[in-house]
Structure 1
Amino acid sequence: MKPPDEPLIRRALGAEILRRRKALGLLQRQVWERAGLAKNVYLRLERAERNALVHQLIAVAIGLDTTAGELLGGALDRIARGDVPSAGDEWRAAFGVE
């Protein structure tokens, strides 16, 4: 089995970040402030518009009261289930991105 491609991983991780945020009832602003990230950095991660650097992933995990391992594990589970949104408008519609 070959590893998933980069865009698929990025979309799965963004979906997992969004799922966790919504499960906690947090606004995007609350997460980026708790994480200590710039607004545009956090938004681009949640929307799967950029790859997460390790320190950014750790910061997001802290902002979401979880671990980077949990977020990555959730993303990999999504890939295994085939539960990864496609890019663009389908992503926003499927996951209600603000």
Structure 2
Amino acid sequence: MNTVTTRVPGADLPSSGPWWRHPMMWLVVGGPAIVVVASIATLTLAVTYPDPVVQHQANSEQGRAAEDSTETVRPPPAALEPAMKARNHAATGGQVN
């Protein structure tokens, strides 16, 4: 009798081991996982401790008076004038009034 034996290619090779033992897998999965955890931590901090609104006031007495009354808002101090001009210039696209 003739017996036919079939060979499976690669059957003699040793097993590559479990998936968690390969360093490349940790680079592929671990990098994005760390980014997701960091973004959740950042969102939690941003929601828990929001930045306060900063109001520019000349001194504290004027600040208290402005909070107590319903007067119109005063213009910004002269020190902020260049910044306000630059912001307005950037917002209008360079149009001159």
Q: Scaled by the length of structure 1, what TM-score is found? A: 0.22
Of the two structures, which has the highest relative contact order with CA contacts closer than 8 Å and spacing of 6 or more?
1
